[in-house]
Structure 1
């Protein structure tokens, strides 16, 4: 059992999902309708400190980015990255923030000459706030796009999971099933 009474909600979330069984059980319930695709014994913690220097010629700015939890595992023999990003408040820029995390990771992967292909990523936003999530889940929801351009404008989608709406019956591990609302 993980005690979360004296932790911030971010720390409680990181502590909870640092348990490989909880991470796998939760992710399988959310992404795969309970089917056991992610196996806890095959999860490997993944370093995810990233930075980006933005130089607008007036002043250079070093942006640091870090996702809450990132693991590497395989799905059907393909190496993949899975992340959980905790949110206790609604962030109207969450799609862009998650897209930024993913693009920075892909840029990092491109520098690795040993990789033959990029490693796909999935980010789950674990939302524990009081209000209903009411901001865009797709990048294209931020735009007015003329019909003629829709097929050419790239989209970015995120998966937001509201802790109050989780169907716990899909979570196979009994301990995991009882804890998400405690985070």
Structure 2
């Protein structure tokens, strides 16, 4: 067994348990019973028995990719976030861990880019849309330049992470 926890639990069992917790938390947040979730998944073409759903939530039954997507669609949520949270801090030997870290970093940089692009938009549009004193107008224009510089820096960082990920995927790393 590779990278088992100190109590001897294999990583895949810990992953299944964490993923199940994510699915169950979302189902309960949506105030949906396992029976209702079973009906909804069946209606979208991936029938999952209520017992299977309960076993998945307990980490006792593996979930296929198709089932995972169906559960997420039925619960109107992002299955990738479930996977991200279920693997957060989970040690798995080999380059898979490196890939997971790079994907997480890329996601974080993309979130920061979205925020900074929004800030830039506001800084650029503020002086045009608002009747404000010149000193504030100048400050917003200065802020806009700082946002542009930060965006460039974040894009370089993201591109570097994406290149590293491509190298891992092609086996060049």
TM-score, scaled relative to structure 1: 0.27
User: Which structure's CA Rg is the greater one?
Assistant: 2
TM-score (norm 2): 0.28
More strand by share: 1
